[in-house]
Amino acid sequence: MKLRLGSRGSALAMTQAREMARRITELDHEVEIVCIKTEGDADQQSPFAQVGLPGLFVRSIETALIEGRIDLALHCYKDLPSDSPAELQVVAMPEREDTRDVLLVAPAAFAAKAEQLPLVPEAVVGTASARRQALLRHLRSDLSWGLLRGNLQTRLQRLREGKFDAILLAAAGLARLERGAQRGEGNALAIEGLERLDLDPTIFVPAPSQGALALQARRDNGDMQTIAAALDQPDDHRAVRAERFLLALVDAGCQVPFGAYARKTPGGSLELHAALEVNGELRRARARGGDPESLARKAFEELLGNGAQAQ
C-alpha cells in the first residue's frame, strides 16, 4: 500500500520522517513524505508562551489529515495538545528516544565544581521554554535566561557566537540529527569543544512525552491504524500516557512551567515525577502505580492538593 506521511519541514522533523518512512517501508508499504508548514514554524522570534494557543506545531498537519491530504501524521508527541480533534487519534508511539534535557556550555562559562549546574555565576542560558526557565530559577537563582528559538543548528551557532553562556536542548533531537548526519541526510551538529551535561529527568523534569514521536490517523481509517499499530512500543506508550493524563489534569500549555516524566520500574509498575511552578513556588510530585490515569491523579493531588491553580 502507498501512503502519505505528513510532517513539519524542519531539519529535525524531516530526519524523523525519513526514519519513520524507512520503518514503514520495512512493513512492505510505499511512503511519500508530505512536508507541511505550521503556524509555529512561521514565528521563530517569540517565546512559546506568547506565540499563541496550544497546537501551533500540529494544527496544520491535523487539518491535512482530516481533509484527506495525508494518511498518517508524524508529530513530536510533546507538541500535541491533550485534546486532539475528535476525528483523529494517536494510533502508535514507537520506541521513545532519550527523555532528558541537555545543557551545552561554552568552555569559558563551564564551572565543574559549581552547585546544581556547572555554570559560572550569573551565566546566561538560552531557552524559550517556560518550564526550563522555571527549573533554572529554582536550581540556580543567580542564573538568567535569554530567548532562544530556531532550529538546532541556529541555536548552536548563537551559543558559539557568544550570545549565551549555555543553551538547553532536548537530547532526543540531538540524537536524531546526529544519526541523520551519519546517513548523509544533513550536516553534523557542531558540538565539538562544548561541555555537555545530560540532566537528571527526575530533577530537571522534561516536558510531558519529551523524546517520543506520535503517529496520528483518522478514526475512520482502519488500514492506517493497522499499519501504525505494528510500530507501537507498549511500555513506552504506557509511560507517556501517564505523563499526558497529568498534562490534561494540570491543563498546562506552553505558558505553564510544567514537566512530567514517567518510567517503568524493575517491578513493572510506573514511577511518575512531576514539577509545576505555582505562584512562584516550584512544586514537585512523585508517585508509583500500575494504571497511567490513576497514577496521574495521584501526582496531581500532590501538586495541587490544596486547590491552587497553575499560573
pLDDT digits over 179-207, tens only? 998 998 877 787 899 999 999 999 999 99
Instruction: Please tell me whether residues 83 and 224 are part of one structural domain.
Output: yes
Map residue 119 onto helix, strand or coil. strand
pLDDT of residue 44: 54
Is position 251 annotated as part of the catalytic site? Answer: no
pLDDT digits over 211-264, tens only? 999 999 999 999 999 999 999 999 999 999 999 999 999 985 556 899 999 999
pLDDT < 70 stretches in the chain: 40-54, 252-255, 306-311
Element (H, E) at 285: strand 281-289
Q: Is residue 178 part of a domain?
A: yes
When divided into structural domains, the chain yields a total of 3
pLDDT of residue 109: 98
Instruction: Please tell me whether residues 161 and 246 are part of one structural domain.
Output: no
Instruction: Please tell me whether residues 19 and 76 are part of one structural domain.
Output: yes
Instruction: Please tell me whether residues 193 and 47 are part of one structural domain.
Output: no
Catalytic residue among 71, 79, 101, 236: 79
Instruction: Please tell me whether residues 270 and 217 are part of one structural domain.
Output: no
Instruction: Please tell me whether residues 111 and 80 are part of one structural domain.
Output: no
pLDDT of residue 211: 98
Instruction: Please tell me whether residues 107 and 251 are part of one structural domain.
Output: no
Sheet architecture: strand order including 281-289: 258-264, 270-278, 281-289
pLDDT of residue 186: 75
Q: Is residue 134 part of a domain?
A: yes
Instruction: Please tell me whether residues 221 and 90 are part of one structural domain.
Output: yes
Instruction: Please tell me whether residues 114 and 184 are part of one structural domain.
Output: yes
- End of a domain among 198, 224, 248? 198
* Backbone phi, psi, residue 175, to 5°: -65, -45
Q: Is residue 278 part of a domain?
A: yes
Is 309 exposed, middle or buried, given 0-12, 13-18 or 19+ CB atoms closer than 10 A? exposed
> Residue 35 is part of which domain span?
2-95+212-232
Q: Is residue 205 part of a domain?
A: no
Q: Is residue 69 part of a domain?
A: yes
Instruction: Please tell me whether residues 88 and 226 are part of one structural domain.
Output: yes
pLDDT of residue 209: 97
pLDDT of residue 99: 98
CA distance 131 to 109: 22
CATH number at residue 156: 3.40.190.10
CATH number at residue 276: 3.30.160.40
Q: Is residue 133 part of a domain?
A: yes
Q: Is residue 132 part of a domain?
A: yes
* pTM of the model as a whole: 0.90
Q: Is residue 251 part of a domain?
A: yes
